[in-house]
Structure 1
Amino acid sequence: MAVVTGVQYLVLEAVAASAWRDPPYDYVFNYISDLGVPGPRSDSGGRVLDSPLAAVMNTAFVVQGIGLLVVALVLAAHLHGLRRYLVVVFAVCHFLGNVLVALFHSTTPGAYHVVGAVLAIVGGNLLALTASTRRWLVVLPVLGLVSALLIGRVGAGVVDGLWERGSVYSITAWELVCGVLLLWQGSRCVERLGAWENPTRYEP
């Protein structure tokens, strides 16, 4: 499920981006959520917004939220104590955030879209940080959270899309790596999720 969720997100994003040709969609300059803004053509912060396949991108947001929520619930069943509840809470935040981003695009009045983006990005990265099956996996969400802090601060209006992708792709990369590990090692990998509660059981 983790692999499917991550792959569908990247594929549907690429499909939506490929349909945006006037001007061409820029992965470094444009925000991901720009792909979810339907016509009529508008301008936001110097970015021309008019995604021909907005429905495709918004579908990807919702499926991402649902998919990671399901994965988190499965992982949480093998965790203990506070860590179990945190994984579920962060997964719910990520799910709600993606739904809000899909329902309220960036040109919609109100703060719903911004709140959704924060919930999706922060919730997803904290989930990955808390539920990592290997200690080295925490590198991905840490980089994601750092990237989120750089949005609008470093290279504002030029490379915002790059920083945003760093904060989102960290979640996607975690999904893919975690999914592959689970497929590769099966139940043994799931059982080792509790290694942080019992360090003597941990095997690198």
Structure 2
Amino acid sequence: MIKTIFFTVLTVAFFYIVWINNIFAPHEKYEMPQEHGKIAMDYKYAKEGRELFIQNCASCHSVRYDALYLTQVQANPMLASLQEKYGKVLPRDVYEAVFMNDLNALKEAFGKVPPDLSTIYLVKGPEYLYNFILEPQKVLPGTMMPPVMTGRPEETAKIIAYLRSVSEPPPQEKAKRNLMGIVTIGYLIVMGILIWLWRDRILKKMGLH
């Protein structure tokens, strides 16, 4: 029984660390003005933010989850035929293999291929993104990212609203996923307890416990 309790506590602690209080997430404190924070959190600005992203960011960054690829890739006639075959969101290996030359050109210019930003909102959070996009050198000295949005805080907030809409589901869908996560964790805990109880019972029958 002690082992069962220990296993249950360990399972709950594990999911608390990686899901509720992610120790791997950045913990630096960044601030965002309240009025811009409201914009970044509002899905109605996502469409405008997407257009701003295309105009200012798509020459270096893609958002694969939204089938938004590099500007030079969008202009490549092969993209349409590949999307007919694989769907709008291309498999990563196909994308990197077919458009290797475009990616290598970015690598030569910046030292590495700028990352895809499909999940950057979840990884970094709105406050970090707001400050980094506005003043990249201040947040990350030595970065190769140009300050294309410096002095444009409201537009930056709209870009963040777009990135949020891509990486984070709408409230109703998010609630469903959270509920599913809770149910899954509960199921794993219950199954863990039952397995340990069943194990103890078998060992007792065998005279090994």
TM-score, normalised to structure 2, is 0.21
Compare relative contact order (CA 8 Å, sep 6+) and give the higher one, 1 or 2.
2
Tell which structure's C-alpha radius of gyration is larger. 2
